[in-house]
Structure 1
C-alpha cells in the first residue's frame, strides 16, 4: 500500500477528532491522532513510544537515530472545541479554497505533523549522527497535561526543540505566562430590607475586584518589556457569578480571571501579592474568601537571544526572534534541557476561529526550513 501523500496525511489528521476542553461533555480522546502518527512514523523506521497520560489521553515520542543531542520537532495533537454552525465548511474535512487548506487543526496545529513527515522522508536514507525526535502531546489547549507529564518523567530530550505553533514562520523566543485563577466568596444571605441580616458576598467581591485592578495598575507600572505587542502584564476579569434574586442579600459570589505575566515575573509571588490584598477584605466584610488557581500556570518563557537555536532560526528565516502574548509548551521543553523556540507556518489570527486555515504558499517554505534544521542538528557530525 503506497505511503499517503502530504495532502492525504493532512486530511486524515483533521478528520480525527481530538478536542481537549475543561468541559467534560466536549472533551475527547486524542488516541486516533496519536496512532495515525505512530503508524506512519513506524513505517518510516522511527521507534515510537506512546505513553498514556490519563484516560484516553496520550503522548507520542518518535525517534530516528540514537545518541545524545539532536533535534525535537514538537507540537500538540489536540484542538479547541468548535461550533460547526459557524463554519462555512465541514471543520473535520480538509477543504481547499482560494489557496488555503481549511479545517480544524490545520493551523493550530495538527497540520504541522504532516509537514514534518513530508520534510524528513527524503532525508532518512542518510546517516543520522544525532537523533531526530518527533513529539506529539495531549491537552495543550486545556491543561498542558501532556507537557507536564514529560517534565514529571524527567527524561532528557534533544539539545534543540522547535514547537510548530502558528507564528507565520517567524521565530519566537519569548512569551508571557498564563494563569487562570478563581476567587470564591461565601457570605450570609438574608432579607434585603435589613442589611444587618446578612453579609453580602457580592459587595465583598466588588472590593476584591478593586484590589485586583489596583494590583494590575501597580504591576503594569513596574514591569515592561517592549518586545511584546502588549508590553505590560495583563489581568482580565473574565466572568462573575453571584446571588439569585434582587430581594436577597447575596450569599455566594465567584470570579474567574486571567493573568499574563512577563518573563521574570514569578507566578507564585503574584499569587501571594493577591492573597495579601484579600486577607483584610475577608475580615472587613465578614465573609470567607477562597482563592485557588483553576489550573497550574504556564510559566513565562524566554530563550536567550544568543542561544545557538535562536541564531540558527533567525538566519534561516531572515527574521529577528520575536515575542508573543499567547502561551505554549516551550517552558516545559526548556525544563528538559532543550534550547527551545516556537516556529510554525500558521497565523495565530485564524487559530481558534471558524474557518481555521493554512496558506498553501507556506507549505514549501516550511518544508525547506524543517529540512535545513534536521540537516544542521542531526545529519552533521557533532562538534568535538
Structure 2
C-alpha cells in the first residue's frame, strides 16, 4: 500500500510540477503530469478515477468519484496556472516556500492548494459509507480557453446536484460573477511611402477613430446596465493592447486592437459583438479600409446563481460569511449549465492570484479543511 503524502508534501509536489496554460503556444504546457499525480493520490484513497483527454494534445480533465448513486457533491478546481516572470519572484515560483506564515508558490491559492486541502478533508470519511457520491473534478486550461470545462458540458458529466469551485474568494461564498468576452478589431488598410499619404490608407488613423467610438460605446454600456449586487455595478470595457505598422516612414497598412468586456448577467456576448461591428462599419467605409471584429477566445457568459439556494445558505452557515458577487470569471457558468447548484468558494484572495510571490496563508488551511468536511457531511453522508 502506498503511503499518502502529507498536506505540505502534496502541495509541494503540485507546485513543483509546472502546468502553465496560455494562448501563446510557445509557453503553453501540458497538464497531464498534474492530472496523473492527482489520480494516483485519489486512487490510493479509494476513488474511481476517470481521466478525460481533451481534443488538445497533452490536456485532460480528471473526474475522481468516491461512492455511488445520484446527486452528490462536486469539489472542483483547475490544474493549470497563469504564466509567470521568475525574475520578479523572491524565490522560485516552482518550489513551495514557507515564510511570514504563508506558503509561497505559483498556484498555491490559484488553485493547486485547493486539491491538497481536499485530500486532507476526505481522509476522515474513507471508512464511512456515503449516501451520495463525492466527486473531485480537476480541469484543464481554465486560465486560457476553459476548454476543460467546455468538454465537460459537451460530455454531460459529471452529474451531481451541488458544486463548489475552490477559487480564492477569502472563504466568502460567491453566487454571482461577471462574464468575459475578449475581442480583436482588425483593420487592413494600404501601406505606402509616408511622403505622400494619398498613396495608402492608414490603418492606425482608422484605429484612432475606432478607439473613440469604442469609448463612446463603453459609456453607453454603463448607462444601460446596472446591477447594485456588484461592487462595480456596471460592465467594463478595457482596451488591452494595440499593434500596427512596421516602420515610421511607411503608411500603416495593418492594425489590431484587442479589448475585453466584462459582461453583467443579462448581457449576451454575441449581441455586444454585433453592436460593436455595426458601429464601426461606417468608419471603415468612410476610410476605405477592411475592418473585422474577431473573437479571440469563446466568450464566458456571466454566472448568476440563486442567493437563497440550499448550497449558498449551507456555505454561509459553515463559513460565517454572507454570499457576495465578484468581477472575476470562473468555470461556474459551465457547472450551472449542467444543472448543478454552484458556489465559488475557496482559501486565499484574488489579489494574490496572477501576481509574483503568490501565496496561501497558513491560517486559511484549517478553516478550509473544516469547511470541506462540513460540505461532505452535509451532502454525501
The residue aligned with 1:256 is 258
The alignment status of 1:56 with 2:30, answered yes or no, reads no
Which of 202, 210, 225 matches 2:212?
210
Query: 1:124-203 counterparts in 2 under 5 A?
Result: 124-203=126-205
Which of 283, 292, 295 matches 1:293?
295
Aligned counterparts of 2:146 and 2:93: Cα–Cα separation in 1 = 23
- Whether the 8 Å CA contact 1:31–1:57 is kept in 2: the answer is yes
The secondary structure found in structure 2 opposite 1:294 is strand
Aligned counterparts of 1:353 and 1:202: Cα–Cα separation in 2 = 33
The residue aligned with 2:355 is 353
The residue aligned with 1:382 is none
Query: 1:59-78 counterparts in 2 under 5 A?
Result: 59-78=61-80
Deviation at 1:229, TM superposition (A): 2.2
The residue aligned with 2:25 is 24
The alignment status of 1:223 with 2:225, answered yes or no, reads yes
Aligned counterparts of 1:323 and 1:350: Cα–Cα separation in 2 = 18
Per-residue displacement from partner, 1:201-238 (whole Å, max 9, x unpaired)?
Answer: 11111111111111100000111122222221111111
The residue aligned with 1:9 is 10
The residue aligned with 2:248 is 246
The secondary structure found in structure 1 opposite 2:298 is coil
Aligned counterparts of 2:197 and 2:92: Cα–Cα separation in 1 = 55
The residue aligned with 2:283 is 281
How well do the aligned residues superpose, as a CA RMSD in angstroms? 1.1
Which of 93, 96, 117 matches 1:94?
96
Aligned counterparts of 1:353 and 1:291: Cα–Cα separation in 2 = 31
The secondary structure found in structure 1 opposite 2:51 is strand
- Whether the 8 Å CA contact 2:32–2:58 is kept in 1: the answer is yes
Task: Specify every segment of 5 or more residues in structure 2 that has no aligned partner in the other structure, as ranges.
Answer: none
- Whether the 8 Å CA contact 1:156–1:337 is kept in 2: the answer is no
Deviation at 1:244, TM superposition (A): 2.3
The residue aligned with 1:115 is 117
The residue aligned with 1:46 is 47
Q: How many residues align?
A: 379
The secondary structure found in structure 2 opposite 1:240 is strand
Aligned counterparts of 1:232 and 1:222: Cα–Cα separation in 2 = 8
Q: Larger deviation: 186-195 or 292-301?
A: 186-195
Deviation at 1:120, TM superposition (A): 0.8
The secondary structure found in structure 1 opposite 2:299 is coil
Aligned counterparts of 2:241 and 2:130: Cα–Cα separation in 1 = 52
TM-score by length of 2: 0.97
- Whether the 8 Å CA contact 2:152–2:158 is kept in 1: the answer is no
Aligned counterparts of 1:81 and 1:156: Cα–Cα separation in 2 = 29
